[in-house]
Amino acid sequence: MTGKKLLSVRNLEITFRTEGEDIPVVRDLSFDLDHGDTLGIVGESGCGKSITALSLLGLVPSPPGRISKGQILFEGEDLVQAGERRLNQVRGNDISMVFQEPMTSLNPVYTIGEQIAETARVHFGLSPAKAWARAVEMLDLVGIPSPDTRAHDFPHQLSGGMRQRVMIAIALVCEPKLLIADEPTTALDVTVQAQVFDLFQELKQKIGAAIILITHDIGVVAQMTNRVMVMYAGRKIEEGPVAEFIRDPRHPYTRGLVSCIPRLRLPPDDHPAPLFEIPGVVPSPWELNRPGCAFAPRCARAMARCRTENPVLAPLGDGRAAACWLETEAAA
C-alpha cells in the first residue's frame, strides 16, 4: 500500500447554467480519502451530496452542468482533465457507484445476469460464458439465493432488497478501489437496510475497497463510517472522526442534525421527548451569492460577522475542522 491518497478533491466547484447565469451548486470543496477508508457525506436534500458523487465519475450532466474549477485526483491522476475514453476505463473498474433507486438504474428488458455480465465483458474482455459465470459468482457473493437460477430473472421479478443487492453486485464485479453508495437504502424497510449495510461491511473486508457513503441518516453514519463530512448549501461545513461527530458536533447545523435523532427515555422519566427541528429551509442556489454564512438565517447563535463574512474552514485539532466563526474565535 502506497502512502499516496486514493482520492484527493481540491477546491471543487460545480455550476449549472440557468437562465443565462452560472449558478454554483458545489463551492470550494476539498477532502481526502485513504485506501480502505470509509467516509460518510451527510446533509439535507439539495446540499450537493449527490452531484459531488457524480462529479467523481465525470457524470455531471452537461449541459447544463459542468465542473468549473478544482481537481479530482484519483491516485494522483486528475479526472477533471481526463477525456471520456479514460473516464470510461475508470467507471466501474476503479470507481463504482450504487445509485439510490435500482428500478431506474436496472434495464427492465435484460436479465440481471446479462446486466452484470456486460460489465465483466467490457472491463475484463471475458467470453460470454465466462462473463455469465462471473455474474453468477457475484450474485452469490452479495447473498442472493440460488444465484444460477436468479441470474435469469428480470428486475421486476425481484424484491426491492434483492434489486439493491444486484446493483451492489454490478458495482463490485470489477473489484473497484472506490465504491460510492448514494442513499443505497432509501426505498427499503429497516430490516433490509440492516442486511444491506451488513453486506457492505462484509464486502469491504473481502475486497478492501474504500467507501463513500452518502446519506441523511445519522444512525447509518455512526454504524458504517470512520470519518464524516457535513455539507450545507454546497459547502463543507464540518469534518472529523465519526465518534467525535456524534459526541461533540461543533457547527450549529451539525448540532441540529445530531439533535434530531430520536432518543429513548427510560423510567422514571419515560415520557416522549419532543423532537428537535432546525427552523427555516435550505437557501436556494440563487441566494448563495449573498455575503455571510449560508446557515446564518437559521442559526440561533448567529453574530453580526456571520451575516457579512463567509466563514473559512478552520482546524479544531484531532483531525477535525468546522466553518463557523464561533468556533474559529473560540479556537483563537
User: Residue 232: what pLDDT?
Assistant: 92
Q: Which residue has the higher pLDDT, 328 or 66?
A: 66
User: Residue 2: what pLDDT?
Assistant: 45
Strands 7-18 and 21-33: antiparallel
Cα–Cα distance for residue pair 134/127, rounded to 1 Å:
10
- Residues 7-225, CATH architecture: 3-Layer(aba) Sandwich (3.40)
Cα–Cα distance for residue pair 74/56, rounded to 1 Å:
9
User: Residue 185: what pLDDT?
Assistant: 74
Strands 178-182 and 210-215: parallel
Q: DSSP letters of 219-269?
A: HHHHHH-SEEEEEETTEEEEEEEHHHHHH---SHHHHHHHHTS-----TTS
201-226 residue pLDDT tens: 877 777 788 999 998 878 888 888 98
Q: DSSP letters of 155-183?
A: GGGS-HHHHHHHHHHHHHTT--SEEEEES
Question: Is pLDDT at 1 greater than 60 in this prediction?
Answer: no
Cα–Cα distance for residue pair 212/209, rounded to 1 Å:
10
232 beta partners: 235
User: Residue 223: what pLDDT?
Assistant: 82
| 59, 84 Cβ separation under 8 angstroms | no
Q: Which of 90-94, 220-224, 285-289, 302-306 has the lowest mean pLDDT?
A: 285-289
Q: Which of 95-99, 187-191, 317-321, 324-328 has the lowest mean pLDDT?
A: 187-191
Residue 266: pLDDT band (50, 70, 90) is low
